[in-house]
Structure 1
């Protein structure tokens, strides 16, 4: 038994070393064409997800649409299933860096790339959050996930809300982090005036200065990019945002241009709302609006001295809240 465990450990480190060497070699040979450092970091993150007992898989919904996931290697039937939905700040790998370890130990996690992010794609021209929700729910069914809770960040919150609304029997609990689902048209117009730029220019940055602005809006405690050189930020923009840039912009434009839903259904699931008190993207008043809309089955947790990206700025507190709520310990 001990020798088997030892072999697993040795195999993991050998495969990790080989993957790092292979990617270093490939990226070095293509240095002029590829963002070397950020792709290397992407490889490291992939290895970390594998270390957390997750594996990548792709689910073809039809000949037009494919949804990519990181999924638990072995489903533990004594633990709840948790679907983690990212926002515009990255893909499934980058946005949950500080959470995948603690949450994968407590739940069977399923971490999709939303359409046009990471390795998920579609030939469909539909850019709505409703289409994203239907595709994600369909993919989960094909993976055999019939009961699950969902934890979603920012743009992902719009998608998760639709899933919970459409599939009340499948979705057990909902956690929404910093997602302005109940923006009124007046509030949206005022926020756009305050920011002074179209959201698609911020959410899908073209250059290092755009990326710094996005991080500055998302963070309260510190701007972690001020000391990074432009070439490294340019690499990140190339890898993360140039891929399917047109589609990402269209997703953002859909959210901005659509009218506020004055008849948004009230979810039947217990819902935990988490918000940073210094959120500059979706002001705190939107959290209170969402809680009032959802009523007695909802709970609002406000994290002090934290901005929009609470999953990055206050990951320990967010993780504790998610684990306690989804596990039923709250």
Structure 2
């Protein structure tokens, strides 16, 4: 029998986070995706989960993660709902997961350009995009820079309409860029607990420090300075008047009690985009609405993204049928 007192000793030799990451990799593979690293040139490589079989009759869906763990952890609960309707692509943004660059750019504009190169390398020229938090900044930039490539866009808790003076004016729970970076890039268990409290309405309590330290070691210890640069680039000189307007149909999803990007920014974004945008506010949810309310989150995404009238019978394969086809293809 495994006693609680034995867990800290076991954690020295066994990583719970790495084991869960392996489980996610296995589940993504079983869902019909494969892990691919693509060299984009000029010192830039992007990793992405791509379909083992690309079905021309299906539209393509790109799921873009935010800050935190890699893309698998943020979309694992939702993947199965979309895999039968779309060719699904789940990339790691630059400096997350297995993606990196030696170039100095840190803006979401650069991230969007890299993402577009990645999609073109996989033969995808038109897509539907979902972006969570920072991923929404990138998704918005893709939609504005490459309007013909994006036909629908979902922005989840994405403070793309923030302005640099919002922090000085007290809109956020943090008062400085350094404080924001220390929370969004936690390097101690206490900072990770603080992030959990800010991003969840009902954060899990009583998590032992060795579990949190293990998560930080596996998920939060790489490219820390580079990620600080990404946060700084989001805020520096940002003004709503300089934000391009997009014309694609857009769904804005927000947690009612978001403490990282307050709901005010969601309504500001709706007003900026105009009649092409609709907003959904999910009650009893914070910034991590995709994790706190996965069923409700998925329901709104499916309603907006899936056009059942345009789906042919051959594209509506069950997950079991897709897996069987994938294994048959690989034999």
Q: Could you state the TM-score of these two structures normalised by the residue count of structure 2?
A: 0.86
**2:167–2:175 CA contact under 8 A, matched in 1:** no
Match of 2:121 among 124, 142, 152: 142
- In the other structure, the counterpart of 1:62 is 41
> Which residues of 2 match residues 96-135 of structure 1 at below 5 A?
96-135=75-114
Instruction: After superposition, give the CA deviation of every residue in 1:163-203 in whole Å (9 maximum; x if it has no partner).
Output: 00011111111000000111123323234763346211011
Pick from 306, 309, 330 the counterpart of residue 327 of structure 1. 306
What secondary structure does 2:110 align onto? helix
CA–CA distance in 2 between the matches of 1:238 and 1:258? 33
Superposed, 1:85-100 pairs within 5 Å as 85-100=64-79
Q: How far, CA to CA, are the matches of 2:186 and 2:169 in structure 1?
A: 22
2: CA distance, partners of 1:254 / 1:155: 11
Instruction: Show CA shifts across 1:142-177 (max 9, x none).
Output: 110011010000011110001000111111110000
What is aligned with 1:272? 251
**Structure 2: runs of 5 or more not aligned:** 1-10, 310-331
The equivalences for 1:199-238 within 5 A come to: 199-220=180-201, 222-224=202-204, 226-238=205-217
Partner of 2:291: 312
Match of 2:133 among 139, 149, 154: 154
* Structure 1 counterpart of 2:5: none
Equivalent pair of 2:66/2:131 in contact (CA under 8 Å): yes
Say if 1:35 and 1:239, in contact at 8 Å, map to a contact too: no
Instruction: Classify the secondary structure of the residue corresponding to 1:149.
Output: strand
Inter-partner Cα distance in structure 2 for 1:35 and 1:238: 12
Conserved 8 A contact 1:182-1:261: yes
Whether the aligned pair in 2 keeps the contact of 1:35 and 1:238 (CA below 8 Å) is no
User: Does the 8 Å contact 2:163/2:235 carry over to 1?
Assistant: no
Cα distance in structure 2, aligned partners of 1:76 and 1:58: 21
Q: Runs of at least 4 residues of structure 1 off by over 4 A? A: none
CA contact (8 A) 1:113 1:120 kept: yes
Distance in 2 separating the partners of 1:84 and 1:283:
22
Tell me, in whole angstroms, the C-alpha distance in 1 between the residues paired with 2:43 and 2:175: 37
**Cα pair 1:116 1:248 within 8 Å, conserved:** yes
> Any unmatched runs of 5+ in structure 1?
1-30
2:276 is the alignment partner of 1:301: no
Task: Please report the TM-score for the alignment, with normalisation by the length of structure 1.
Answer: 0.86
Question: Structure 2: how far apart are the matches of 1:155 and 1:208?
Answer: 22
Which among 130, 154, 178 is matched to residue 175 of structure 1? Answer: 154
* 8 A contact 2:67–2:134 mirrored in 1: yes
The CA RMSD over aligned residues, in Å, is 1.9
C-alpha distance in structure 2 between counterparts of 1:57 and 1:91, whole Å:
14
